[in-house]
Chains A and B, each alone.
Chain A
Amino acid sequence: MKRMRFVCWVAATLVIAACGSSGNTGGGNSANAYAGKTIKFGAILSITGAGGVYGPQSRDGAMLAVKQINASGGINGAMIDLEVQDDASLAATSAQKAQTLIQSSLDLALLGPTLSNSAVAVHPLAESLKTPILAVSTTGIHIVPDCNWTAANPTTTPCKYVFRDSLGEQTAIPDNIKSYAADAHPSTGVLLVAQDDKFSSDGGKIVQDTVGQYNIQLLKTIPFSKAAADLTPYVTEAVQLHPDVIFITSLGGIPAKIMTGARNLGFQGQFLGGNGFNTATVSKQAGAAGKGARSASAWYIGNTFASNQDFVTAYKSEYSKDPDQFAAQGYAGIKILADAAKRANLTFTDLAGDRDKLRAAMETVNIQTPLGPFQFTSTHDVKQTVWIIEMDGAGGFKLDHQIQPS
């Protein structure tokens, strides 16, 4: 009797879980036309966990692009099928899901992952499995082209299959500091850096390496763990040094927490941050405390690039909210893959060959995206306009400067 009840319980949960369907229609088998075929792309994004602040927008942007392309006849008649997997912001999960997408779902190419932490586990894997992977939000060091970089062996051969359409912190943070230094000539700064993830640590290192060039004296670097219940003691340390600038390199809800704490303690100076600032969620959480906080972004909602207005309008009508940088990068990611797939003369029979063709075609992408006219550099990185934006205190951003690519 008891055993029966147990079995029923388990069976019931299984049945409920199995409700829901997964219908993929495979392509036919004719040789050279795209018409009627399906082109499978995969995406590994952080929908939950620390990266859950950014991943959902990347997903929404990518899904929107897929929908638009399929609605307008697909890629030479082939429909895109995008499978999005949540890696829960864990590197090991990210790698497992990537392997499954590459070897079991047999996707042509991947987008992602969201966090630099996961990227260092996933990108070398994709490289070794010869599958193109396009990072849409990772900004850390050693992402492209040196995905196989290690401290012991710093000069590895460039990774052939790894690309990114996101602006590296190595460009963004120095641009941001440079532009603020030119505007306000700050002389002192304090750095608050989350020490337990790669993205934040990378950003902290870049700040430390950059400030000297602009005659900003870094009074102190204050590392903290994101597990600390209350960051106020760390913020107090920073505020009591009366710096002109507080640099914040961290993820998720932490930047807003620091800004609120510092303003409450009477801090009057400037906040400068990294890519962690560039989403509406952070601006909204910080509210009035965040007003004026500056970061360098890869995208600005009011930019006048040809395809940006279409993107913003379509995104708003699809999701009834404003897109952010991550949405724009996800959207551009699919557009880039689609353009490459269109020109790659895919066979639909030889997956390895198709992946190679796609990779080669990606290197010559030249399209209009919401990020601007898009081409990869020879190191598979972006070369694009950088937008210095500041939080407007009401959940949005406004533009300070526009820096053209050199």
Chain B
Amino acid sequence: MDFFFNLFSDPVGFWNSHTLLISQIGINGIIATSMFLVLYSGQLSLAAPGFMAVGAYTSVLMELYWHTPFAVNIAAGTLLAALGGLLVGLPVLRLRGVFLAIATIGFIEALRLGVILNVPITGEGLGLKHAADPLGGVPIILVSLVVTVFLVWRLTKGRLGSAWSAIRQDEIAALSQGINVAQYKMIAFVFSALLAGYGGALEAHLTFIVAPGDEQYGVTRAVQILTFAVLGGSGFVLGPLAGALIVTLLPYIFLQAGPYINVFSGIFLIAVIVFRPQGIVGRGGLAIVRPAWWPRARARAPSPG
């Protein structure tokens, strides 16, 4: 287990020689937090990779063609993703549970296969090559992660948070309490799109190429992000973060398994979720997509009201 041995025996050396991995964990943490926001407000949206693509392509295209400064590119990508969130949210947010999940899959794949692969300015299948700074991103990413997590944590503790919580636990009850369900859901969705766009824009500057692969902006990525949140636990903001950390590190945890890394990773996923269905962090959570007849989780916080 050289990997963990180095981590403890030579932390500084480890840090310097794994900046890309650490950056990836940070980015995945930001995206996982974006996933947390929608799950917390009772929406099973898998749209994050689509908004990441919006953020990434916008910022890289601006860099390539307008030569605008880094901060401006990232900000533009983030804001455009949020706008995208508003536009996608308007038609889909009346859908619930798995229907919302599948509609958002429709959105990300239509964007990737239908738009990105067919509009010449995106570089189509070639992707966009640009001048990145793969090793210098760590401070920005980690600061962003901390700020993001703190902000989202504050939000969940405030008025917005209690409204989201109420909607997640029982939408009809929330409606009858006079909560503007549609509006609060939209706020969460747009916020989540904004964070995904921000993460996507940052991620694009970690590598020299932005390309429309499935594992980057497609269903594979969406499922991975969902895994962060569900494995980590979606009742508390640190849950998805823990999930992102563990899932990103899985190949290193099982490094000694050699070719069988994914066999062990899969068994590990099953084991964790079977023994801790509510996720690693937190007790409640995950209550959002329960069929009426499915028994309620025993360890669950009492609903408010």
* Residue positions of A touching B, CB distance < 8 A: 2, 5-6, 9-10, 13-14, 16-20, 22, 47, 86, 90-93, 95-96, 99-100, 102-104, 117, 120-121, 124-125, 128, 142, 148-153, 194-198, 200-202, 223, 225, 227
Do A117 and B211 touch (CB < 8 A)? yes
| Residue among B214, B215, B272 with most chain A CB within 10 A | B215
| Residue among A17, A99, A150 with most chain B CB within 10 A | A17
Do B212 and A90 touch (CB < 8 A)? no
Query: Which A residue's beta carbon lies closest to that of B251?
Result: A93
B162 an interface residue at 8 Å Cβ cutoff? no
Q: Which of B35-43, B92-100, B192-200, B254-262 contacts A (4 or more CB under 8 A)?
A: B254-262
In Å, the complex CA distance between A5 and B267 comes to 15
Do A17 and B257 touch (CB < 8 A)? yes
Report the minimum CB–CB distance from B222 to chain A (whole Å).
Answer: 14
Partner of A201, one of B24, B124, B131, B134: B124
B130 an interface residue at 8 Å Cβ cutoff? yes
Report the minimum CB–CB distance from A351 to chain B (whole Å).
Answer: 12
Residues of A within 8 A of B128 (CB): 151
Partner of A6, one of B123, B124, B127, B275: B275
Give the total number of A-B pairs whose CB atoms are below 8 A apart.
Answer: 133
In Å, the complex CA distance between A96 and B134 comes to 10
Residues of A within 8 A of B213 (CB): 90-91, 117, 196-197
Do A198 and B20 touch (CB < 8 A)? no
Do B125 and A14 touch (CB < 8 A)? no
Report the minimum CB–CB distance from B207 to chain A (whole Å).
Answer: 5
Do B275 and A9 touch (CB < 8 A)? yes
Report the minimum CB–CB distance from A22 to chain B (whole Å).
Answer: 6
B64 an interface residue at 8 Å Cβ cutoff? yes
Residues of A within 8 A of B131 (CB): 148, 150, 153
In Å, the complex CA distance between A27 and B132 comes to 36
Residues of A within 8 A of B253 (CB): 14, 17
Do most interface residues of chain B lie in helix, strand or loop, or is the interface mixed?
A: helix
In Å, the complex CA distance between A125 and B209 comes to 12
Report the minimum CB–CB distance from B211 to chain A (whole Å).
Answer: 6
B264 an interface residue at 8 Å Cβ cutoff? yes
Query: What 4 pairs across the A-B complex have the smallest Cβ distances?
Result: A103-B17, A6-B275, A104-B17, A201-B125
In Å, the complex CA distance between A96 and B212 comes to 19
Residues of B within 8 A of A9 (CB): 271, 275
Residues of A within 8 A of B211 (CB): 91, 117, 197-198
Do B258 and A20 touch (CB < 8 A)? yes
Inter-chain pairs besides A148-B131, A152-B64, 8 sampled, C-beta below 8 Å: A10-B268, A22-B256, A95-B20, A99-B17, A99-B19, A121-B208, A196-B212, A201-B125
Contacts A152-B65, A198-B127; is A22 near B20 (CB within 8 Å)?
no
Contacts A22-B2, A128-B135; is A197 near B18 (CB within 8 Å)?
no
In Å, the complex CA distance between A167 and B254 comes to 36
Per-residue A-contact encoding for B106-137, CB less than 8 Å = 1, 0 else: 00000001000100000111111111101100
Report the minimum CB–CB distance from A204 to chain B (whole Å).
Answer: 8
Do B264 and A198 touch (CB < 8 A)? no
Residues of B within 8 A of A201 (CB): 124-126
Partner of A2, one of B13, B258, B275: B275
